[in-house]
C-alpha cells in the first residue's frame, strides 16, 4: 500500500538542556499508510509529533513534506500545508460549542476577514454555510454522538470518549493529508476502543487520510498498522510489520523484558 512519499524525516535530533529527547531519527510516511509509533513512556514519541507539527524546533536534521522542508514554519503554517494533529491530553476549546470547535479548525481553509463579516457579504454567508456543512459532515463520522442537539452544546459537557472523538473530528476538519493521532484510544473502554479501531481504518479507506499514530494499546496497533516504528530513548530500535517488531529482542527488552503479547491481552 505504498504510494508516493509524503513525509520524509532525516536524522532528526533535539536536545532539551543535556537530554537527547530524539537522536538521529529517520522516518518516512507514504501516502495512504497507517504507521504506528510505539515505545515506553519517555521514549520521545510526543516530542516527535511536536516537532512535525512545528511546536518544537529540532536541533538538527530535516523534515521534508512533499519535497519542501517544514523547518522554521509556525504550527499554523504546518497545519495549512496539510498535517493535522490531536493531543494526548485532550485539548479541546472547552467553552466553544461542538460545532464551533470543528468550524474554527477550518480557519486556514477560509479567508473572509473583518470587513466581510461586518458587511455580511455574500461570500461571507456562503463560506459560513460551507464550513458549517463540512463541520457537520466531519462530526457525522462518529455516528449520532456529536450531532443533533449536541452541535450547540459546549465541548465541556462531553464525556471523555466523546472528547477524544471530537479531537479527531477537529483534526479532520482542517482538511489535512496526514493526521497525527496521539494516543487516540487512551482511557477508552474495550468496546469504545474496538469501535475507534474500525474508524481509524475508515479514516484511510473512506476519507483518504494518511495516519501516523502513537498508541500504547497493542491490540489497536496490531489491527490497523501497516508498519510499526519503535522508539526508545529517542532512537529507533526497530521498524517493520507488527509481527516483525513484536518478536524483536531489542523491543522486548525495551518493554522491561516482557513479551508484548502479554501486554496486549
Partner 1 sequence: MSDTAMSAPADLAPARAPLDQDWRKVVNYGLVLGLALVFISLTGMPDGLNSRVIVEPWLSMGYLSLMWLPFAIGFAVTHEQVLEGMVQHKRGARELFAGAVVGLIGGLCLSLLVYLLDTRDLSDPLVNWNQPLLDFLTRDGSVGEGVLLWVGVSTALGLFGGLMRIVPALGSRLVRAVILTVVGAAAMEALIDDLSEGVWKLEGVVEWLYHPREGLEPAGAIALAIAAAFVVLWLGRQLKKGGAVYNLAREAQPLAVNAVSVVAVAAAAILLPIFLGRLTNDLLVNVGLFVLLALGLNIVVGLAGILDLGYVAFYAVGGYSVAILTSPTSPGISPTLPFWLAIFIVVGMATLAGLFIGAPVIRMRGDYLAIVTLGFGEIIRLTVRSDWASGLTGGAQGMLSIPGPDLNIGGWTLPLVGWTMPKLEVDLMGTNPQHILYVVMFFVAIAIYVSWRLENSRIGRAWMAVREDESVAEAMGINTVTAKLQAFVVGAILASFAGAVFAAKVGSIFESSFKILVSIVILVIVIVGGMGRIAGVVAGAFVLVGILGGPNQPGLMAEFSEYKLLIYGALLVWMMLKRPEGLIPNVRRSRELHQEEFLQDAWLRGEVDRDEAGSEATTDEGWAPA
Give the binding site for partner 1 (CB under 8 A): 53-55, 74-76, 79-80, 84-85, 87, 91-97, 100, 103-105, 107-110, 112-114, 117-118, 120, 124, 127-128, 131, 143-145, 148-150, 152-154, 157-162, 170, 174, 189, 191-192, 195
How far is the C-alpha of 169 from the C-alpha of 181, rounded, in Å?
11
- Quote the least distance from Cβ 220 to partner 1, whole Å: 15
The torsion of the CA quartet 156, 162, 168, 174, rounded to 10 degrees, works out to -50
- Quote the least distance from Cβ 215 to partner 1, whole Å: 19
- Quote the least distance from Cβ 208 to partner 1, whole Å: 19
Say if residues 22 and 232 touch (Cβ distance below 8 Å). no
* Triad 38, 41, 45: Cα angle to 5°: 50
- Quote the least distance from Cβ 265 to partner 1, whole Å: 19
- Quote the least distance from Cβ 116 to partner 1, whole Å: 8
- Quote the least distance from Cβ 91 to partner 1, whole Å: 5
Smaller CB distance to partner 1: residue 137 or 195?
Answer: 195
Contacts with 240 (C-beta within 8 Å, 6 or more apart), sequence order = 227, 228
Long-range contacts of 102-107 (CB under 8 A, 24+ apart): 102/134, 102/135, 102/138, 102/139, 102/166, 102/169, 102/170, 102/172, 102/173, 103/131, 103/132, 103/135, 103/173, 105/170, 105/171, 105/173, 105/174, 106/131, 106/134, 106/135, 106/173, 106/174, 106/175
Smaller CB distance to partner 1: residue 193 or 246?
Answer: 193
Smaller CB distance to partner 1: residue 224 or 245?
Answer: 224
Smaller CB distance to partner 1: residue 87 or 255?
Answer: 87
Smaller CB distance to partner 1: residue 92 or 245?
Answer: 92
Smaller CB distance to partner 1: residue 79 or 246?
Answer: 79
Which whole-number Å values give the CA distances from 241 to 52, 136, 186, 226, 247, in the listed order? 23, 36, 22, 6, 10
Smaller CB distance to partner 1: residue 174 or 246?
Answer: 174
Of 88, 71, 51, the closest CA to residue 234 belongs to: 51
- Quote the least distance from Cβ 187 to partner 1, whole Å: 11
Amino acid at each position: 500500500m505504498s504510494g508516493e512519499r509524503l513525509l520524509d524525516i532525516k536524522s532528526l535530533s533535539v536536545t532539551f538542556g543535556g537530554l537527547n529527547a530524539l537522536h538521529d531519527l529517520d522516518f518516512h510516511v507514504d501516502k495512504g499508510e497507517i504507521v504506528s509509533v510505539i515505545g515506553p513512556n519517555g521514549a520521545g514519541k510526543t516530542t516527535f509529533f511536536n516537532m512535525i507539527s512545528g511546536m518544537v524546533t529540532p536541533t538538527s536534521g530535516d523534515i521534508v513534506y512533499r519535497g519542501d522542508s517544514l523547518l522554521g514554519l509556525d504550527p499554523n503554517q504546518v497545519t495549512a500545508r496539510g498535517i493535522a494533529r490531536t493531543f494526548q491530553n485532550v485539548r479541546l476549546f472547552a467553552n466553544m460549542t461542538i460545532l464551533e470547535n470543528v468550524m474554527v479548525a477550518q480557519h486556514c481553509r477560509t479567508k473572509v476577514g473583518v470587513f466581510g463579516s461586518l458587511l455580511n457579504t455574500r461570500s461571507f454567508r456562503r463560506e459560513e454555510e460551507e464550513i458549517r456543512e463540512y463541520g457537520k459532515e466531519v462530526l457525522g463520522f462518529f455516528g449520532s454522538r456529536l450531532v443533533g442537539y449536541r452541535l450547540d452544546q459546549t465541548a465541556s459537557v462531553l464525556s471523555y470518549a466523546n472528547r477524544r472523538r471530537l479531537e479527531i473530528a477537529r483534526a479532520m476538519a482542517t482538511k489535512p493529508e496526514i493526521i497525527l493521532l496521539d494516543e487516540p484510544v487512551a482511557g477508552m473502554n474495550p468496546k469504545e476502543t474496538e469501535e475507534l479501531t474500525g474508524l481509524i481504518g475508515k479514516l484511510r479507506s473512506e476519507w483518504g487520510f494518511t495516519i501516523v499514530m502513537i498508541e500504547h494499546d497493542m491490540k489497536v496497533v496490531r489491527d490497523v498498522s501497516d508498519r510499526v516504528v519503535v522508539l526508545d530513548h529517542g532512537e529507533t530500535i526497530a521498524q517493520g510489520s507488527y509481527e516483525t517488531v513484536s518478536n524483536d529482542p531489542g523491543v522486548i527488552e525495551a518493554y522491561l523484558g516482557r513479551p508484548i503479547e502479554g501486554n496486549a491481552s
